[in-house]
Amino acid sequence: MRYLVTGGQMKAIDRNAIEKIGIPSVVLMERAAMAAADEAIRYAEKALKNQEIVQIWAFCGSGNNGADGIAAARLLHNRGYQVTVILTGGAEHGTEEFYLQRRIALNLEIPVIDWKDFLPGRCDVLIDAVFGVGLSRPVEGDYARVLQMMKDCGAGYTVAVDMPSGIHSDNGQIMGIAVPADVTVTFGYKKLGSALYPGREYCGRVEVCDIGFPADSAGRLSESLNAPLAVTYGPEDMRKLPVRPSYSNKGTFGKVLIVAGSENMGGAAYLSALAAYRMGAGLVKIMTASANRQMMQELLPEAILSVYDADGMELCPELLREKIEDACAWADVIVLGPGIGQGEGVRELLYEFLTNAYVPMVLDADGLNAMARYPELSQYYTENIIITPHLGEMSRLTGLTTEQIRTNLVSTASEYSGAHGIICVLKDSATVVTGRDGQCYVNSSGNSSLAKAGSGDVLTGVIAGLLAQGAELWEAASLGVYLHGVAGDRLKEKISSHGILARELANEIGLIAAEEK
Contacts for 390 with CB less than 8 Å, ≥ 6 apart = 427, 428, 456
- φ, ψ for residue 514, nearest 5 deg: -65, -35
pLDDT above 90 (res 402): yes
CB 484 within 8 A of CB 462: yes
Q: Mean of the pLDDT values across residues 236-256?
A: 90
CA distances from 269 to 181, 261, 311 (A): 42, 5, 19
Among 50, 99, 55, residue whose Cα is nearest residue 76: 55
CA–CA separation, 108 and 78 (whole Å): 9
Round the average pLDDT of the chain to a whole number and report it. 94
Q: What is the pLDDT of residue 47?
A: 84
The one-letter amino acid at 444: S
Task: Note if the bond before 360 is cis, omega within 30 degrees.
Answer: no
- Look up the pTM and report it: 0.95
Q: Mean of the pLDDT values across residues 172-181?
A: 98
Q: What count of other Cβ atoms lies within 10 Å of the Cβ of residue 509? A: 27
CB 143 within 8 A of CB 88: yes
Q: What is the pLDDT of residue 220?
A: 96
Of residues 233 and 90, the one with the higher pLDDT is 233
CB 95 within 8 A of CB 63: yes
Per-residue pLDDT reduced to its tens digit, 99-114: 999 999 999 999 999 9
Q: What is the pLDDT of residue 517?
A: 56
CB 159 within 8 A of CB 36: yes
Q: What is the pLDDT of residue 89?
A: 83
CB 432 within 8 A of CB 403: no
Q: What is the pLDDT of residue 247?
A: 80
Domains annotated on the chain, with CATH: 19-229 (3.40.50.10260), 246-515 (3.40.1190.20)
pLDDT above 90 (res 201): yes
Among 461, 517, 467, residue whose Cα is nearest residue 484: 461
pLDDT above 70 (res 437): yes
Name the pLDDT band for 265 (thresholds 50, 70, 90): confident
DSSP letter string over 131-143?
-TT---S---HHH
Per-residue pLDDT reduced to its tens digit, 281-340: 999 999 998 889 999 999 999 999 998 875 545 445 677 788 899 999 999 999 999 999
CA–CA separation, 31 and 230 (whole Å): 25
DSSP letter string over 70-127?
HHHHHHHHHTT-EEEEEE-S-GGG--HHHHHHHHHHHHTT--EEEGGG------SEEE
Q: What is the pLDDT of residue 251?
A: 86
Name the region of 176 (left: φ>0; alpha: ψ -120 to 50; beta: rest): left
Q: Mean of the pLDDT values across residues 126-130?
A: 98
H-helix or E-strand spanning residue 208: strand 205-209
CA–CA separation, 93 and 107 (whole Å): 21
CA–CA separation, 1 and 235 (whole Å): 9
Per-residue pLDDT reduced to its tens digit, 338-367: 999 888 788 888 999 999 999 999 999 999
Name the pLDDT band for 382 (thresholds 50, 70, 90): very high
Per-residue pLDDT reduced to its tens digit, 444-480: 999 999 999 999 999 999 999 999 999 999 999 999 9
CA–CA separation, 352 and 324 (whole Å): 7
Give helix 455-468 / helix 473-494 axis angle, nearest 10°.
130
Positive or negative, the CA dihedral 225, 220, 198, 69 is: positive
Q: What is the pLDDT of residue 160?
A: 98
pLDDT above 50 (res 413): yes
Q: What percent of the chain has pLDDT over 90?
A: 84
Q: Mean of the pLDDT values across residues 71-96?
A: 93
Q: What is the pLDDT of residue 315?
A: 45
Q: What is the pLDDT of residue 235?
A: 95
Per-residue pLDDT reduced to its tens digit, 30-67: 999 999 999 999 999 988 888 888 999 999 999 999 99
Q: What is the pLDDT of residue 261?
A: 86
CA atoms within 13 A on the CB side of 400: 18
DSSP bridge pairs for 285:
257, 304
Give helix 64-78 / helix 96-107 axis angle, nearest 10°.
20
